[in-house]
Amino acid sequence: MPYVITSPCVADYSCLEICPVDCISPNPDDDAFDHAEQLYIDPDRCIDCAACVDACPVNAIYKQELLPPRWTHYAEVNRDYFRNAEKRIAVVQETSL
Amino acid sequence: MTTQKRPALRVAVVGAGPAGLYAVGQLLDQVDVDVDVDVLERLPTPHGLVRAGVAPDHPLKKRVIDNMFEFYLDHPRVRFFGNVELGDRVVPADLALWYDAVIYAVGASDDRKLGIPGEDLVGSYAAREFVAWYNGHPDFSDRQFDLSSERAVIVGTGNVALDVARILTCDLEVLRQTEIADYALDTLSRSKIKEVLILARRSHMQGAFNNPELEELGESSTVAVELRNATLTPEQQCLEQQLDWIDRRKVATLKKLQQRQLENPEKRIVFQFLTSPERILGDERVAGVSLQSNRLVGDSPDTLAIEGTGETTEVATGLVFRSIGYRGNALADLPFYDSTGTIPNALGRVLQHNEILPGVYVTGWIKRGPSGVIGSNKKCARETTSCLLEDLAAGRLKGDVLSPVAVEAELRQRCKALVTQSDWHRIDSAERLAGTAQSRPRVKFTDRASLLLAAGVPE
């Protein structure tokens, strides 16, 4: 089960800096970061290492099955972010190949 | 005054809010150069808007203090000097002499005005003032807010507007478990407010709030949410589908909030979209607001605009909060753009008459304007400190500085009641201890005298 970023997130990107598989978005180097409400974990790429959990300064990251009830929908919010960003990511991957 | 060459880079950061403290963090992260940082703060307490802006019922966001910012302030290369106000006894020219580089992270201590008649009546305030008041900011703790009106009006739809609406309607039992100022609890316990009317100039597809803050309104079982003017004409209905993901989520959340069925809601929050205040009514005190209706024009989310319909109505209220943005203030003799409320800069290097002022930097709201979330300041600080380190490598910093001991002596001579990090720890511990007794995170000291007393610093 992947990890999920919930609404207390303050977009401090310490999680993104420590993530070994680069599965957290948006990156502060992207323009999208400047309008981001929070960061999101790609559930399809997360390897469950939990490095982000300790890095988060506001303890906003939970293992999906341990999400507090008020934030269970954030599993879908995180997944949904990448579904909507898929097109953009595909373009980036193509150019970097 | 003697100056001497120091091996470590000596930097002053002015302002101990998130902007300044993220800059400290970035400087401490450097491996190629040792950086000594002095953090100067006008209040006796650090943490800026995380302490005095973030709502008391958002304790999770305040964890950034213990998990990160206090770690920076406790670092052996960092010193905190609170209760130091720039402009009189200590001026930017002094700091320029004392340090290799100075980073101004002074934030935005003013707010944007509506510019409509009646704005200065008693009962019309900036949301910023109310927020600082309920958070126990020592410069605002003597304010009085009259909550005897049944309706409060908030102009603007940002997260601050939602914070104010939530605090005004919040269950007192919930607030009693927070670090909200005691006098604010007392005033709120006598509040007669039943309705908070949020006025949005633009449409329900253009709310400035973020999703988490909006969703949170749905967690209350006693406060209903009502939407006005949130229906689109048949031709405009496709617009909602064309919004980007974040805005689509906001619209869906708004609709969900409206559809909730509460049994006996005690209070309600009303979002009235497409409505601009055109005059605050009343003789000496606010008695109402005159409103103008707007209509939505444009056929794609990128070209949406509003135009006045000419139709006006009035709504009765004794309390109006404008919540249309913070605004930076000029600081001493530093350059300042009045139109944006920021210090002119290039990537954080301060500009005077379009020339770079060597060794002078900005970060945070005074650099980029009042926008973003707490972490936005980390990216902002990274840009500024990169410039600073680039300037160091290129030999553009002067190198002559005052020793840390000499700086502290200067500060103690010029400022009475200097608050150091260990003094702040005494305030912090006393507040937490008082909080433990009441099952609250802390009970804040809300005026300078009691803060300094708790710090053990004679006034």
Q: Round to whole Å and give the CA distance between B341 and B334.
A: 12
What pTM was computed for the model?
0.95
State whether B378 and A13 contact (CB < 8 Å). Answer: yes
Tens-digit pLDDT profile for residues B336-391: 999 999 999 999 999 999 999 999 999 999 999 999 999 999 999 999 999 999 99
Query: In terms of residue numbers, what domain contains A58?
Result: 3-96
**Residues in chain B within 8 Å Cβ distance of A7:** 211-212, 215-216
Range of lowest pLDDT (B6-10, B120-124, B156-160, B175-179): B6-10
Instruction: In chain B, list all ranges with CATH 3.50.50.60.
Output: 112-325
Instruction: In chain B, list all ranges with CATH 3.40.50.720.
Output: 4-109+328-455
A31 and chain B in contact, CB less than 8 A: no
pLDDT band at A91 (very low <50, low <70, confident <90, very high): very low
User: What CATH number is associated with residue A50?
Assistant: 3.30.70.20
Q: Round to whole Å and give the CA distance between B325 and B122.
A: 20
CATH of B112-325, one of 3.50.50.60, 3.30.365.10, 3.40.50.700, 3.40.50.300: 3.50.50.60
Nearest CB among A34, A36, A57 relative to B64 is that of A57
Residue A89 in this model has a pLDDT that exceeds 70 = no
CATH topology for B4-109+328-455 is Rossmann fold (3.40.50)
Half-sphere exposure in the Cβ direction for B60 (13 Å, CA) = 11
| Entry field: residues in chain A | 97
pLDDT band at A95 (very low <50, low <70, confident <90, very high): very low
Task: State CA B415 to chain mean position distance.
Answer: 26
Residue B3 in this model has a pLDDT that exceeds 50 = no
Give A36→chain B minimum CA distance, Å. 8
pLDDT in the model for residue A86: 58
Q: Round to whole Å and give the CA distance between B257 and B260.
A: 6
**Residues in chain A within 8 Å Cβ distance of B210:** 37
Helix (H) or strand (E) holding B24: helix B18-28
Q: Round to whole Å and give the CA distance between B237 and B300.
A: 11
Residue B2 in this model has a pLDDT that exceeds 90 = no
Give the residue, B427 or B235, on which the prediction is more confident.
B427
B218 φψ region: left (φ > 0), alpha (ψ -120 to 50), beta (else) = alpha
pLDDT band at A97 (very low <50, low <70, confident <90, very high): very low
A17 and chain B in contact, CB less than 8 A: no
pLDDT in the model for residue B7: 75
ipTM for this model: 0.93
Domain count, chain A: 1
Nearest CB among B58, B67, B379 relative to A57 is that of B67
Q: What is the mean pLDDT of residues B73-94?
A: 96
Residue B4 in this model has a pLDDT that exceeds 80 = no
Tens-digit pLDDT profile for residues B256-271: 999 999 999 999 999 9
